[in-house]
Structure formats: structure tokens, C-alpha cells
Structure 1
Amino acid sequence: MSSSAILYVKLIGSVVFWGGTWIAGRILAGDLTPYSAAFLRFFFATIFMFFLACRATGKRPSCTGKDILPLAFLGLTGVFLYNILFFSGLQTVTAGRAALIIAATPTFIALGSALIFKEKFTLWKIAGFVLALTGVSTIIGHGNPVSIITEGTSFGDLCIVGCVLSWAAYSLAGKPVMKKIHPIETVFWSCLFGTFMLFGPALYHGLLSEIVSASFIDYSCIIYLALLGTSLGFSWYFEAIQQIGPSKTGIFINLVPVTAVALGAIMLDEPVDLFLVTGGALTIFGVWLTNRN
């Protein structure tokens, strides 16, 4: 098999791994508190990311005093907030539905880039943003976007929308950081800081007792999330970015929610109705429009 073929196999593997995180997260959300699940995931992920960072850069991860605050902010938004909201939302929201809501994240990143970094927000991007927002509203409103205003939204859906905002903040804050620090090192530091932030709340919410009571399936999901969904997934994704560029690599991200919906239907017997498919298609097409060259 050629090196380019191996690269695309790894990239597709990353997509499948990330699609599977919603399944593993859904299982864990039913057995552990969001705080314990998030802490255990990133306790192991930080260990794996340390070795990956050493392998990628040829040295141990390091940062200066000036980098601590930006890296801590990445840990706060991309690890602490995102994962508490992730596991809280998955207690009541199906994996496929949650993944399709999260699929709108790139459009919010594009909007944030326009506001913060003064990047062009063209008519195509505006159209994509509106389409993605309509798609998410269709999913949350079960086919009736207006019901979000008239009837409100569930706590679980609000948590997943919170994931969109926290990951957009992480991505925007990470842009200047990754100009100075290797991307995989940046992921390691954000995991480390986020894990420290999660430890106190997890301990308060019964971490020690849940470590003892967690089942083999729970620990399998934790290791899956830490090793495949975080460490290996990010490593292969960044490898693809370096070799074929961010534009070609980014196209594959649109397959993550599709994978999550398919895995949710197969493994968790989650329903896939017309409103979910329609809203998901609008969201993914909106993301494509927002990020097209």
C-alpha cells in the first residue's frame, strides 16, 4: 500500500474514531457523572498525548511563562467546559442527534474568525451559516425550528449547543497559540490543564467511589475516548494536515456526524427520522458552504 493510501486510511480512521466518541460518551453518560467521565477520559488522554508529543517533536513538551495563560484557557474551553457539557448533554440526547448539532461548529468558528481576526465573511459564508443554523434548529425543534422560541429547548440540547460555543472558543484561541507551539504539544498542554481543572469537581461529585464501581465496559469506553478518540485521532488528523493541507483534510470532518448517526443506529438502536436526516443534511451543507474556497 502506498504512503498516500495509508495516509487516507488513517484520516478515515480518525473520522470513525471521532464518530465513535459519541457512542462511548453516550454509554458513559448513563453510568458516571459528567465530571468523573470527563476527568478519567483526560487523565489517560494526557498520558497518551505526552508520548505522542515527544514522538512528534523529538523532545519533551515545554512552554514558557507567557504561554501558561493561553494554554490554560484552551484547557478551560476545549477540555473542562466542552467535556462537562458533552457528558451532561449525552445523558438525555442521543449520540447521532448530538453529533449533528455539533457539526455546525465550523460555521461558528468562521463567524468568530471574521469578528476577531477580521477574516472575510463572504455571502457564501453567510449563506452557509444561515443554512447550518437552520439545520441545527430543525434537529432541536424536531422538524419545527420555530418551536425553539415557542416551546423552548431541553437542558440536554442546550448542553450540546454549549459544546459548539466552547469548541469554537477553543479553536479561535488556539490559532495564535499553534503558531508558536506544535499543534500536538498544544493538545497535550490543553489536556493537562483541563485535567487539573476537572479533578476538584470530579472529586466532589464522587470520583473515588465511581472509580471503584465503574464496569469493564465503562473503562473500555474511557480508554477508547482517551486513546483512539483523542490521542490517535488528533495525531493522525494533524499528520494529514501536514501532508495534504487543511482544506482537503477538513472535508473529511463532515463525515464525523454521519458516522456517529450510523453507529448510533447500529450499536445503540437510536432512531433516525426524516427530521434528523433533513436537519443534518442542512447543517453539513451549510458547513461546506462556509468553508468552501
Structure 2
Amino acid sequence: MLRVYAQLVGSVVLWGGTWISGRLLAQSMPSFSAALLRFVVASIFLLGWTWWRTGAIPKPPRHLGVISLLGATGIFAYNYFFFTGLASVPAGRAALIIATAPLVITLASPQGWRPQVIGGALVALTGAGTVLAHGVPWRLFSTGLTAGDLHILGCVVSWSAYSILNVRATRRMEPLTAVTWACVAGTVFLTLPALQSGVIEHALTATLLDWTNIVFLGVLATGVAFTWYVRGIQVVGAPRAGVFINLVPVCAVFLAWMLLGEPIDFSLVVGGILVLCGVRLANRH
């Protein structure tokens, strides 16, 4: 049991690290190039990992429509918004904004409009506004959002859509099979725009740091972290494992401060606490 909890903590650290790694990679190459290279690596790793575990490459699922939607939302759209947003938005701030995604998923559920959920939504939105407006949420009405902020909010929408679709997909196939073929489908969707943005040239001129980030994002943050998290759900259950997800933005803020030197100011702390409390309140049973 201790090993399982250690793996859940490891998943949180790896997912928190995606914001630092993504921030660095977004400074070196366009969004589609970075996303394609990440998921070529991730797809190869996941296919090999599944073969190693089961002795066979997973067959393409019959539900190609669902898999295509997963690839379009969670891989193609999310990673376009992810890398484009991180080109201008600090990693810690972006991670706290996307921490509102579980709230969007809850609001989209049949039980999403209970008073408890609405209250949690108001608290979380106040927190998100505090982060976005650097401590003065009502300032957003006069200054609006930056393009980078809008792209990170695009991450929230696309990841929420992916998560809702993923619930349906995993009723029909194994979670590892679903994420593997979603990665493959997303890689296919990314290929043409990545070629148009010069991905081959970017791959050939990428530095050692770029490739380190690509491998980290493709192998550790996608393949290993997902496998550990699914194993945690199977052993301790989804409610207990889900609590660990709330720690991802906290870990991201800490890593961004430690590795990138991003300041942790008052608005980030207060807004982050409000976001996490709101999401927790909305999802309490």
C-alpha cells in the first residue's frame, strides 16, 4: 500500500513538472512542433509499455469515434493551448488557472447544479480571477484577459471535454488502451499543422535541453504518471486517488519557484487557496 501512495505522489510531481518543462519548451519551438514531438515519443512509449506488460500491441479499438474525439480534445486542442499559453504565461500561474478544470467537469455532470457545487464554483472563480488579475479580480472587467490567459483557459475547456469523454471510453475499454490510442489519434491530428510549422527543422536543431523536456513530457509525464495513477485508482479507489490531483498545481507553483525563479506573490497564494478550496467544496460527497 505504501508503494501505491508513493506512486500517486510521484504522479503529482511529474504532472506538476509538465508546466515547467512545457514553459521551457514553449520558448524554443512553436506549439504544434512541440506537441507533435511530445506525442510521437509518448505514443511509441505507450505502445511499447503495453506490449511489455501484456505481450501484445493493443489492437485498435472498435470505438474509433470516441478515440478520435479523445485525441482531438485531450491531445490536439489541449496541447496547442498548453504550449501557446505557456509561451507568455508563467508556469505556476497557468497551473492554478487550469486547476479549475475539475470544477467545469462537475458542473457538466447531472448533479452539477446543486447549491454546494454552485458555492464551490463561486469560490473557485474568485480564486481564478485573483490569479488572473494579480490580486484584484474586478480589474478583469476593465483590462480583460491577455491572449496567453485565454489560451490557458482553452486548456480548461479542452481538458474538461476530454475527461468527460474519457469516462465513456473507459466503460468500453481498458484505461491504458484508451489513453494509448488517444495519443496515437492526437499524433495523427497534429502531424499536418506541425509539418506546416517546420517540425522537421525544429527536431534537427533542438538542443539537449529541448529533447530532455520532450522525453520527460512524452515518457514520464504521460506514460509513467498515467500508469501509476491508474494503478492507484485500482488499489485505493477513485475518491482517495482523486484527492492527489488537487496537489498538482501546488507542486507546479513550487517547482516553478525552485527551477524557474518565478515569484510566489500574495495573489498567487490567495488565489490558489481559493481555487483549491472551491474545487474541493464542489466535489465533496
TM-score by length of 1: 0.95
Identity %: 44
Q: CA deviation at 1:57?
A: 5.2
What is the letter of the counterpart of residue 45 of structure 1?
A
- Cα RMSD (Å): 1.2
Which residue is equivalent to 2:164? Answer: 172
Choose which of 28, 35, 39 in structure 1 pairs with 2:36: 39
Q: CA deviation at 1:121?
A: 3.4
Is 2:125 aligned against 1:98?
A: no
Which residue is equivalent to 1:16? Answer: 13
Which residue is equivalent to 2:45? Answer: 48
Q: CA deviation at 1:179?
A: 0.2
Contact 1:56 1:184 in 2 (8 A): no
Is 2:39 aligned against 1:27?
A: no
Q: Structure 1 residues 271, 123: closer, same or farther in 2, change over 3 A?
A: same
Choose which of 106, 130, 138 in structure 2 pairs with 1:110: 106
Is 2:226 aligned against 1:230?
A: no
Is 2:259 aligned against 1:267?
A: yes
Which residue is equivalent to 2:74? Answer: 78
Which residue is equivalent to 1:254? Answer: 246
SS of 1:121 mapped into structure 2: coil
Which residue is equivalent to 2:136? Answer: 144
Q: CA deviation at 1:145?
A: 1.4
* Whole-angstrom distance in 2 between the partners of 1:33 and 1:169: 24
Q: CA deviation at 1:74?
A: 0.4
User: Structure 1 regions of 5+ residues with no counterpart?
Assistant: none
Q: CA deviation at 1:125?
A: 1.4
Which residue is equivalent to 1:220? Answer: 212
What is the letter of the counterpart of residue 59 of structure 2?
S
TM-score by length of 2: 0.97
Q: CA deviation at 1:58?
A: 5.4
Q: CA deviation at 1:51?
A: 2.5
Q: CA deviation at 1:52?
A: 2.9
Q: CA deviation at 1:120?
A: 5.2
* Whole-angstrom distance in 1 between the partners of 2:160 and 2:152: 13
* Whole-angstrom distance in 1 between the partners of 2:195 and 2:256: 31
SS of 1:146 mapped into structure 2: helix
* Whole-angstrom distance in 2 between the partners of 1:57 and 1:150: 56
What is the letter of the counterpart of residue 159 of structure 2?
W
SS of 2:240 mapped into structure 1: helix
Q: CA deviation at 1:60?
A: 2.6
* Whole-angstrom distance in 2 between the partners of 1:56 and 1:250: 25
SS of 2:58 mapped into structure 1: coil
* Whole-angstrom distance in 2 between the partners of 1:121 and 1:175: 20
Q: CA deviation at 1:55?
A: 4.7
User: Structure 2 regions of 5+ residues with no counterpart?
Assistant: none
SS of 2:68 mapped into structure 1: helix
* Whole-angstrom distance in 2 between the partners of 1:27 and 1:282: 28
Contact 1:11 1:236 in 2 (8 A): yes
Contact 1:138 1:275 in 2 (8 A): yes
Query: 1:252-292: per-residue Cα shift (whole Å, max 9, x none)?
Result: 11111011000100100001110011110000111111111
* Whole-angstrom distance in 2 between the partners of 1:228 and 1:60: 20
Q: Structure 1 residues 27, 112: closer, same or farther in 2, change over 3 A?
A: same
What is the letter of the counterpart of residue 34 of structure 2?
A
